[in-house]
Amino acid sequence: MAKKDKNNDNNPLKQIIGHAKEYGFVYQSSEIYDGLQAVYDYGPYGNELKKNLKELWWQSMTRLNQNIVGIDASIFMHPLTWKASGHVDSFNDPMIDNKDSKKRYRADVLLEEKAAEYEKAGDNAKASALLQKMGQLLDAEDLEAVRQLIIDEGIVCPVSETANWTEVRQFNLMFSTQVGSVADDASEIYLRPETAQGIFVNFLNVQKTARMKIPFGIAQIGKAFRNEIVARQFIFRMREFEQMEMQFFVRPGDEMKWYEHWKESRMKWHKALGTPEEKLRFHDHDKLAHYANAAADIEFDFPFGFKEVEGIHSRTDFDLSQHQTLSKKKQQYFDTEINKNYVPYVVETSIGADRLFLMVLSNAYTEEMVGEGDKAKMRTFLKFNPVIAPVKAAILPLTKKDGLPEKGMEIFESLKYDFNLIYEEQQSIGKRYTRQDLIGTPFCIAVDHQTLEDNTVTVRHRDTTEQERIAIEDLHGFLSKACSLRNVFDKL
Ligand code: GAP
């Protein structure tokens, strides 16, 4: 179960994790039982933020592209699916245990961390030599030599501080369970480790029933499960997570054109959402997975450095051909333009909803000194794009009397069908503004005595704290404009 990370004080995500818990974004799963490692629950604001991110992705894929349709496939799939995809045989991580602490590590991660130490000390040559050697040994599946390399590098377990290592073993990341009520009949099935295969096995169903013509795409959002050995960095690497994947089916030979198209298109999407250009970069893969002929990651500069948020992969015809072989059902498309039957090639875009959430939260977290001299203090706020902000506006009557609460509720009632709002009348207006800043509400609508006279309210903008007077009848239009998905779409 979850163990307290003794290095938590040095964790660069410490502030984000603390803020996410304190203000209702993300909690450790089963916290009252000391938690379950690498499994998390989303609180009231986290849940709204995640839903908004998924909605934005979904609409960007399906509404903005007439040739992309969506599906919702099951988590359980026929076991042969994972034989075909290669997950049964090669979805492995090399693991090593420390005999004294009984802690388990990924052998490659231990060596990568050692290389990072060399790099930090300015010895780049030693770092790359170590990574190269590790790559060669893993490719050759020489696990005994990987263990020896760990020992030769003087790597010790951070908990026991000894080098009393077991042998290195390959560890399959898929979770399995049994289907069938009678033990004898039960057969082992897997919790899907990626959503993509649910799309591949439905390729012909969708193509025929939605009358799709190549090139076309199928999008899906859903849970995926991986028994990650290195489960750290909060929601960056989880055992249960959500993926947003799109498989784009193309004519063989056209895949590189579409690969470049989707690389650019997805990078543009991240920028349109408001992620600063300098915090994003591509990482083109030199070493390709068995199914790919090109692959790149979009990386974000997290508090712990640049790391993958999304993958764009040219998967050739690997998956459909494998399913054709194992299912003995043709997975072909007749292309009327060139009068030819073929197994389509596929370009995939794959992003984790939780990892995107962490990126957006890290990027939004802002601390700013306000005031001067003795009055200077830190203001913390979450600078979410209003399009994805969990709460769009808070309605705040200045006082609890003189009919202000009634007027505030009237405004709340008129807007609640179209926007997620908070109505609050407890405590001073300043404290209420602060609370909204901490959950990233872009607009606070204050109802005061002038409202009763001229039907206008004060709208406070979260990022600048500037205030403006707006007529109540214009509020709906104001919020619609500020929170519309179009604000992102127009930049694509
Ligand atoms: N279908 C291709 C595929 O699954 P991947 O690179 O293994 O490729 C794609 O995963 C994305 O899914 C990653 O870029 C990441 O955003 C997310 N992801 C993968 N493993 C994850 C984990 N353990 N926890 C959270 N997100 C994860």
Tell me, what CATH number does 394's domain have? 3.40.50.800
Is 185 a domain residue?
no
DSSP state of 55: H
What does each C-alpha distance from 248 to 215, 433, 468 come to in angstroms?
7, 45, 46
Cβ partners under 8 Å of residue 473, min gap 6: 455
Strand positions, DSSP E, 98-192: 104-106, 169-172, 176-179, 187-190
CA of 237 to the centre of ligand 1 (A): 8
| Residue 17 counted as domain residue | no
User: Do both 110 and 254 map to the same domain?
Assistant: no
Strand partners, 460: 444, 467
Residues 211 and 280 in one domain: yes
Mean pLDDT, residues 233-248 taken together: 96
Q: Cα(178)–Cα(187) distance, rounded to whole angstroms?
A: 5
Do residues 382 and 409 lie in contact, with contact meaning Cβ atoms separated by under 8 Å?
Answer: no
Nearest CA to ligand 1 atom 15: 352
What domain count does the chain have? 3
**Residues near 483 by beta carbon (within 8 Å), at least 6 away in sequence:** 386, 387, 389, 392, 419, 442
In this prediction, residue 1 carries a pLDDT of 45
Q: How far is CA 366 from CA 13, 382, 384, in A?
A: 14, 6, 10
- Over 60: is that where the pLDDT of 2 sits? no
CA angle 249, 196, 320 (to 5 degrees): 50
pLDDT given at position 15? 94
Minimum CA distance residue for ligand 1 atom 14: 310
**Residue 119 reports pLDDT greater than 70:** yes
The protein residue with its alpha carbon nearest to ligand 1, atom 26, reads 352
Determine contact, residues 308/325, Cβ cutoff 8 Å. Answer: no
Query: Does residue 3 surpass a pLDDT of 50?
Result: no
Q: How far is the CA of 243 from the centre of ligand 1 (A)?
A: 7
> For 441-464, what is the mean pLDDT?
98
Q: Which of 195, 243, 244, 288 to mutate to test the pocket of ligand 1 (most atoms within 8 A of CB)?
A: 243
Q: Are residues 51 and 113 located together in one domain of the fold?
A: no
Among the candidates 310, 332, 362, a domain finishes at: 362
Task: Give residue 117 CA to ligand 1 midpoint distance, Å.
Answer: 26
Nearest protein CA to atom 4 of ligand 1, as residue = 194
Substitution site in 82, 245, 355, 359 for ligand 1 pocket (most atoms within 8 Å of beta carbon): 355
- Same domain? For 151 and 197 the reply is no
Residue-level pLDDT at 5: 43
- Asked if residue 219 and residue 159 are part of one domain, the reply reads no
pLDDT score for 75: 98
Backbone angles phi, psi at 30, to 5 degrees: 50, 45
Q: Both 315 and 439 in a single domain?
A: no
In terms of domains, do 345 and 421 share one? no
Please report whether residue 451 resides in a domain. yes
For residue 134, tell me if it sits in a domain.
Answer: yes
Pair 288, 168 in one domain? no
Confidence grade of residue 289 (pLDDT, cut at 50, 70, 90): confident
- Which CA distances in Å does 422 have to 55, 143, 193, 200, 446? 21, 56, 38, 42, 12
pLDDT score of 182 more than 70? no
**% of the chain at pLDDT higher than 70:** 97
- Ligand 1 is surrounded, with C-beta below 6 A, by 194, 196, 226, 228, 237-238, 241, 243, 245, 308-311, 348, 350-352, 354-355
Rounded to an integer, the average pLDDT of 98-124 is: 93
- Kind of pairing, strands 393-397 and 443-447? parallel
Residues 292 and 160 in one domain: no
- CATH code of the domain in which 155 resides: 3.30.40.230
Write the pLDDT tens digit of every residue in 243-283. 999 999 999 999 999 999 999 999 999 999 999 999 999 99
The residue-averaged pLDDT of 353-378 equals 95
> Tokens in use for 145?
């030599």
Q: How far is CA 428 from CA 399, 402, 434, in A?
A: 8, 16, 10
The answer to whether residue 369 sits within a structural domain is: no
Q: What is the mean pLDDT of the chain?
A: 94
Mean pLDDT of all residues in 287-307: 93
- Per the domain annotation, does 47 fall within a domain? yes
Q: What is the CATH number for 235?
A: 3.30.930.10
- What does the pLDDT look like over 157-172, one tens digit per residue? 999 999 999 999 999 9
Domain encompassing residue 458:
384-489
- pLDDT surpassing 60 at residue 4: no
Question: Which among 103, 393, 50, 420 has a CA at the least distance from the CA of 230?
Answer: 103
> Same domain for 245 and 349?
yes
The average pLDDT across 395-414 equals 97
Residue 6, pLDDT score: 42
d(Cα 248, Cα 41) in Å, to the nearest integer? Answer: 31
Closest CA to 262 of 353, 277, 254: 254
DSSP 344-384: PEEEEEEEEHHHHHHHHHHHHEEEEEES-GGG-EEEEEE--
Q: What is the reported pLDDT for 183?
A: 61
pLDDT given at position 9: 62
pLDDT digits (tens, 9 = 90+) for 189-200: 999 999 999 999
pLDDT for residue 185: 59
Residue 1 located in a structural domain: no
Q: Are 215 and 322 within one domain?
A: yes
Residue 367 lies in a domain: no
Give the Cβ contact number of residue 460 at 10 Å. 23
Confidence band of 186 (pLDDT split at 50, 70, 90): low
Work out the average pLDDT over 72-100: 95
Which region among 68-82, 168-182, 327-341, 473-487 has the lowest average model confidence (pLDDT)? 168-182
For the stretch 39-74, pLDDT in tens is: 999 999 999 999 999 999 999 999 999 999 999 999
Q: What confidence category does residue 230 fall into, taking pLDDT thresholds of 50, 70 and 90? A: confident
Cα 356 vs. chain centroid, distance in angstroms? 3
Strand arrangement of the beta sheet that strand 443-447 belongs to: 421-423, 393-397, 443-447, 456-461, 467-471
Q: Are residues 141 and 42 in the same domain?
A: no
